Amino acid sequence: MRSDLQRVAAHPSRPGHDSGELMVRGTDLVYLTEELYLRLFILTLSLTAIGAVLSVCFGVLGSRGSVPVTVGIAALALGIAGAGLRRPRRAYIWLRRSPLRQVSPAAFGAIAVLCNGPDSPSWWVALPLLWVIAAVSSTGLSVMAALVTAAAYLAGTALGGEVLVRHGDAEILAAAVALPANILIGRLIAEVFARFTLRLHQLQRRPPSPARPIRVTVASSTRVAPNPPTPTPTHPITRARRGLMGLTARELEVLLLVSDGLIQAEIAPALGISTRQVERLLASARARTNSATTSQLVAKLVSEQVVP
């Protein structure tokens, strides 16, 4: 990622520029965001390895599901996590290339909980695999994959002859609901951190608050009328402004690189995605902001200081 961005950017700036801004190029901001996503990706792979070990422990101690199947699924999950941790950047970029690749971890998790019998202990494998998707994909695709995995978990439990509610205990249903809930929370947290990173340049662009005037009391028999309060400037949030603020982190990444003068053929390899994905992100950003062209959209972003 770093080499791609440095290749397409002629002179990338550095933090602490003489102008007083934290960042002055979109390339710098995108690089920081992608490093954040990469570290989240490494964390989810580590959690996948831990989940594989936990699935074996719960499968053996709890006598749930087939122990050989549980061990086999755990071994495959450990192999996937180990291969990703060995070359995390390459694995991250490989998954980012297409939505079909992004849902492959969820497909493995769904098959695991479907085939592993009642109240599958492979739930502990499926959950971190969904977090892997949350680190590389969009919120919509992550939640959809989580819902499919939750349905597979319930179906595997029912097909194994286990009731979903045992004597008023809805533990199985709660575990199924926890899959999409955890993924949604994790994806939203990642989105918030990514959007904050992409807008670091705004921190020092905010105008300082006006200083309050010092009032001097003068002893006089004549009563002096108090100074009228200084009117506070208002900044109404228009519909266009709300649309700009509603852009996702992935859309902002593409637009930051566009504002730096990059074309789609350069943006795609820099972000590890296809040109078709770049086109979809630009089209989605234009639709959110009611912009006819990408140039008009970038002009709006620059005027509102959404991008540097």
Give pLDDT, residue 299. Answer: 85
Give pLDDT, residue 304. Answer: 74
Highest mean pLDDT among 84-88, 213-217, 249-253, 272-276: 84-88
Give pLDDT, residue 19. Answer: 43
Is pLDDT at 231 greater than 70 in this prediction?
Answer: no
Q: With both helix axes pointing from N to C terminus, report the angle between 26-62 and 67-86 in degrees, rounded to the nearest 10.
A: 160
Give pLDDT, residue 11. Answer: 41
How far is the C-alpha of 170 from the C-alpha of 119, rounded, in Å?
12
Per-domain residue ranges of the chain: 26-198, 238-308
- Say if residues 133 and 103 touch (Cβ distance below 8 Å): yes
pTM of the model: 0.77
How far is the C-alpha of 58 from the C-alpha of 70, rounded, in Å?
10
Give pLDDT, residue 238. Answer: 47
Q: Which of 40, 39, 55, 48 is nearest to 128 (CA)?
A: 48
Is pLDDT at 213 greater than 60 in this prediction?
Answer: no
Give pLDDT, residue 256. Answer: 87
CA distances from 304 to 208, 242, 244, 261 (A): 17, 11, 8, 18
Output 226 or 146, whichever has higher pLDDT. Answer: 146
Question: If you ran DSSP here, which 8-state letter would residue 229 be given?
Answer: P
Asked: is 238-308 a CATH 1.10.10.10 domain? The reply is yes
Is pLDDT at 124 greater than 90 in this prediction?
Answer: yes
Is pLDDT at 221 greater than 80 in this prediction?
Answer: no
Residue 250, token pair as written in the block: 């992935």
Lowest mean pLDDT among 126-135, 214-223, 256-265: 214-223
Output 66 or 37, whichever has higher pLDDT. Answer: 37
pLDDT per position as a tens digit, 156-209 = 988 888 878 776 678 888 999 999 999 999 899 888 888 888 877 666 555 555
